[in-house]
Amino acid sequence: MDTGQGCTYRGDVTSPGEQSRPDEGGGTPPPNGATPYDDPRGGRADLPPYVYNPYANVSYPSTYPAAPAGLGSTDDVGPVRRPGTLHLALLLHVVAALPYLLVGFLATFGAAAAVATLPAEQLAQLQQLGVDPEQTIRSMGLLILAVAAVFLLLAVLTWTGRGWARALLAAMTAGFVLLVFAFVAAAGGQGVATDGATLLILAGPVVLAVLGVVLTFGPAARAWFSRPRR
């Protein structure tokens, strides 16, 4: 079949997906120095027809600061490492909780021995009031153990990146600070002076807990807590 542009094509019928090829057995040469593989209808006959693919990879100029949201690749963005300040904060919280754990353990399992050290007059007064000193000491020990255990659990969860645990840990630490101030104020109101050793035992762990909470809210810790989750 003659197209009218100087090329002779075979007259056989091609399939819908197959493009016509120039006749290799004869015909006039293509005009204007075109190669035998040039399709006179436009394009090249040896290339497949263009098919639009909306899911093809999208490339952006190098002037783009970043690909639009949802289209860029995050494979080159490494995970944010846990800062060393969180390790230090966890250590401070563990050290702060150790005295309370020890006191709670001794009060829970050594209540009978503690009652034996009380003067006989004080025991008689407690019995008149209907107070069981051994049970009271044991209950206080269990309470101290429970509070210290919850504090340690929140500290570990904060170290793992739970923001809600960090908030609860800060709230508990603020409560400990208020309790220390209340105890010192109550002792002063009763005319009992608080010596340096007692104040160190009471306030020392609380100070360590406060320092640990401050570290969890530092710049490095905030960046780690706000990292994208996978």
Does residue 36 sit within a domain? no
Query: pLDDT of 152-177, one tens digit each?
Result: 999 999 999 999 999 999 999 999 99
55 inside domain: no
Domain region containing 209: 85-225
Residues of the chain with pLDDT under 70: 1-80, 190-195, 229-230
Q: What does the alpha-carbon distance between residue 149 and residue 120 come to, in Å, rounded to a whole number?
A: 35
CB 34 within 8 A of CB 42: no
Structural domain includes residue 204:
yes
Would you state the pLDDT for residue 129? 79
- Structural domains of the chain, count: 1
Task: Provide the percentage of residues in the chain whose pLDDT is more than 90.
Answer: 33
**Could you tell me if 180 and 206 are in contact, meaning their C-beta atoms sit under 8 angstroms apart?**
yes
pLDDT tens by residue, 193-205: 666 777 788 888 9
Is the residue at 53 inside a domain? no
Any domain includes 150: yes
* 34 assigned to some structural domain: no
pLDDT of residue 130: 78
Q: Note whether residue 61 is domain-resident.
A: no
| Confidence (pLDDT) at 29 | 54
Q: Is residue 42 part of a domain?
A: no
